[in-house]
Structure 1
């Protein structure tokens, strides 16, 4: 199969030679978290008369994602799953907007927090994953927790062979152990694992440990005014504009 014009392998005709498993970043790379969170937040905000734009609310909630994980990565806080961090962050955002948290039922907050398990894949994701799976074992290598990744896969039709990542490693990307313990869990050395992500930092951390790298552009992950990760900041093994283009580049 000829290479897709929007995919640019950086290191020869077969950049994934010897690779047996592809691990995928999920939030932003495979699924569109912003639209899904906003969709779930809209009726919640309306019901509780919270005057915040749902997309802005999604952005505020997501902005607390990295700082909360950093508390765990730094060792200032013991390991805790992402769903717990997300729920804590939800309460912070609501409090910022003057919401009396005690006036909202815990079940209502928990239901909204589960929106992270009901996010639509990008339009190319399911086809791209299906094709890549013909050649490679594939799995989520995400900061998400196992149960959430399972439900998200069922919601979006993501046919993973396995889910690894943060909960398996009890650490969050880009900490080295997240990648190394995930590789160990699939029974492979890092050199036989490829990392697929829309985030340069994720790929930089993976490559430093010997993993192969595929950059997929998601220029609207953070909305139309996105300024980050619009292009590769280094030469990755494969650079593509979609998971379909990545499949083309890898002969899948």
Structure 2
């Protein structure tokens, strides 16, 4: 049984698509706001790959999000937005709403386990999401601590080491099979949480692809499985 639970955040704990689209509704209307959220997110992995491949020095995700925002604003014909508006819009990632099951389930899990995010999001972003959604982390781990981005093994291993835990004593919890496959390859235990609507209705993962130690339809169900 693990003694540390590490969580992916974007998509697993928070509804990034719905939250980003909601921020853009006054500017774009629903259909274009959702398309903008998708386009912004589509820049996420390519931007991090620049860092993972060594073509860019490590920088916080806030910096990459802003770089990506400037690209998408131009693509959507919104290049006229001034600097203040761009800074505020970039902070939308600090204001993402949790999925309904998350708050109560984290409280249950914390009674038995130490909890931390293991996200590509920077520490200030993770702290702001915790304060907004009423979560209590025992630490904040992830990309900024490891100075690299998932799915590099160093991110998972640094998170476990922060708790003086062997990899097998840490459980990586995520809604993305690729994230869990990388964590498993690094020696961590893994738990899949279904988020079938993460990228829009029916456009998320409802089942794990590949082996995992636990598979649940919600964080509440995972808490049940772990005896919390």
- TM-score, length-scaled by structure 1: 0.87
Q: Distance in 1 between matches of 2:199 and 2:94?
A: 18
Q: Which of residues 104, 107, 116 in structure 2 aligns to 1:139?
A: 116
**Structure 2 runs not aligned, ≥5 long:** none
Structure showing greater relative contact order (alpha-carbon pairs closer than 8 Å, 6 or more residues apart) = 1
Matches within 5 A, 1:230-245: 230-245=206-221
Aligned with 1:224 (options 194, 198, 201): 201
CA-CA distance at 1:121 after TM superposition: 0.6
Give 1:97's match in structure 2, choosing from 57, 76, 91: 76
How far off its partner does 1:52 sit? 6.3
SS at match of 1:123: coil
> What is the correspondence of 1:6-155 to structure 2 with a 5 Å cutoff?
17=1, 19-45=2-28, 53-100=32-79, 103-155=80-132
Secondary structure in 2 aligned to 1:86?
helix
Question: Are residues 1:212 and 2:189 paired?
Answer: yes
Distance 1:40 1:248 in 2: 34
Distance 1:99 1:128 in 2: 40
8 Å Cα contact 1:34-1:223 kept in structure 2:
yes
Following superposition, the deviation at residue 132 of structure 1 comes to: 0.8
In terms of Rg, which structure is larger?
Answer: 1
Aligned partners of 1:233 and 1:68: how far apart in 2? 25
SS for the counterpart of 1:53 is helix
Query: C-alpha displacement at 1:234, in angstroms?
Result: 1.6
Q: Deviations over 1:12-69 (max 9, x none)?
A: xxxxx1x1110000000001001100011122447xxxx9611111111101111100
Contact conserved, 1:44 with 1:112, CA < 8 A, in 2?
A: no
Alpha-carbon shift at residue 239 of structure 1 (Å): 0.2
List structure 1 runs of 4+ shifted beyond 3 angstroms. none
Structure 1, unpaired ranges of 5+: 1-16
Once residues 160 and 132 of structure 1 are traced to their aligned partners in structure 2, the CA distance between those partners, rounded to angstroms, is: 11
As a proportion of its length, which structure holds more helix? 2
When the two structures are aligned, how many residues end up with a matched partner?
228
